[in-house]
Amino acid sequence: MKELKIFGVVAFFSLLTYYLVEPYAHHAMHAKFDAQGNEIKIESHGFVYDGTTEAAASAVAISDLEYKIGKEKDAKLKASLEKKLTLAKDVQAKKATFWKEVATIGQLTGNAKAGEAAFASCTGCHNGLNMNMGGVIPPNLDHAGALYDENYLIALLKDPAMASNVDHKYADTMLHPMGSIKGTMSHQQIADVVTYLKEKKAAEPTAKTAFMEACVRCHAMRYDKVTQLGDIPKTKENIKTGHDIDAMKYAQKVAEEQATLAGYMGKLPPDLSMIIRARSEHFMETFIEDPQTQLPGTSMPRVGLSEAGYEKVHEYLMDIGDPSKPARDMAGPWVLGFFFIFTILAYLWKSHQWKDLH
């Protein structure tokens, strides 16, 4: 019985460490607090885009400023904080009005045929030709109806910067690359285009296709030989020179695209080959849903994926970042079963060998 007691003690403390200490340490390292020292809990909203995350962020920002104003003694600094508070309240009101209008458009009945005609003007940019426009390659929309939330599509057509929650980046500098469409469509036309996308561009994509359409224009996947320009083409090495000229030309194009993208974003977005192992499931979900919740001020736009779209992208990230997981999941029960049976047999063998010595 002594061995079983030792095993029980070891198992207890191992489980205590795994289920309590490690998750707590991870939580403490990534915890966020407001100016008053209260922890800010970041929750997923099920990939529903209705302004909820913006409202929560605005409320925290305003609360922090009000707290700092109440504590500030220096008149000059206090005046500066009050100016920021006025601006924060103005942004809060604009975002609330924006999402209220998005909800209004969402109530309209769209016409897919009329939307198709209006969508024709979008193909000048969204054509899959990998042409950089304004700092970034416009995404392919072949599966937009299946990948993106309807409310987000409405918001994107109404005001791209506000929809992707990076309006702070364009406040007093440059226009959003898609900004030229802002205000050019009536509410009914927006409803028509979104209806067209949800009906005619809604074929279910593969996991890789979902990633390619939603993420690849910014994020490479070197473990799958994917760059911001798409799959790395297969080329033949030049036997005479020992160099693959076509491969070098492609590498130059990628380098030029990455330089342009880095200039637009502020830095080159990271390769995502191992992101699934580097970040928790909760972080991935809330960050992709709205990057500002985890990294306020980031230039990464909200992508607008629906829950189904996110699952597709997540599946691809798992396939590349942790391809052995299905095999591990399958082998796990067998390994545990083996150790369980082996423990019983070892205990019975020990009892048999020592029965005459006790």
How does pLDDT run across 256-276, given as a tens digit for each residue? 999 999 999 999 999 999 999
Residue 13 located in a structural domain:
no
User: Could you give the CA distance from residue 72 to residue 89 in angstroms, rounded to a whole number?
Assistant: 19
Q: Are residues 273 and 318 in the same domain?
A: yes
Mean pLDDT of the 186-211 span:
96
Residue 358 CB-density burial (10 A; 0-12 exposed, 13-18 middle, 19+ buried):
exposed
161-177 confidence digits (pLDDT tens): 999 999 988 876 567 88
Residues 26 and 278: their CA atoms lie apart, in Å, by: 12
* Same domain flag for 161 and 57: yes
Residue 95 confidence (pLDDT) above 60: yes
114 belongs to a structural domain: yes
136 DSSP β-pair partners = 133
Based on the fold, state whether residues 207 and 288 are members of the same structural domain: yes
Q: For residue 357, what is the DSSP state? A: G
Both tokens of 183, joined, read: 């205000």
Clarify whether residues 117 and 211 are in a common domain: yes
Residue 190 has pLDDT above 80, yes or no: yes
Q: Mean pLDDT, to the nearest integer, of 180-197?
A: 90
pLDDT at 145 over 80: yes
22 occurs within a structural domain:
no
The predicted model gives 113-141 an average pLDDT of 91
pLDDT of residue 65: 93
Shared-domain flag, residues 251 and 343: no
Span 332-341, pLDDT tens digits: 899 989 988 9
Residue at 45 is within a domain: yes
**Mean pLDDT lowest for which of 3-12, 28-37, 96-105, 139-148?**
28-37
- Same domain as 133, residue 62: yes
My answer on whether 309 and 346 are in the same domain is no
Kindly state whether residue 21 falls inside one of the protein's structural domains: no
Number of domains in the chain: 2
Q: Which two structure tokens, joined as six digits, stand for 326?
A: 């299905």
Whether 105 and 221 map to the same domain: the answer is yes
State residue 32 phi and psi, 5-degree precision: -120, 140
Statement to judge: residues 291 and 331 lie in one domain = no
- Burial of 142: CB neighbours in 10 Å, binned 0-12, 13-18, 19+: middle
Per-residue 3-state assignment (H helix, E strand, C coil) for 321-335: HCCCHHHHHHHHHHH
What's the mean pLDDT in 5-15? 80
The answer to whether residues 254 and 344 belong to one domain is: no
Q: How many of the other CB atoms lie within 10 Å of CB of 72? A: 15
Query: Quick one: pLDDT band at residue 76, thresholds 50, 70, 90?
Result: very high
**pLDDT band of 28, cuts 50, 70, 90:** low
Residue 11, both tokens: 């198992």
Domain of 63?
A: 31-323
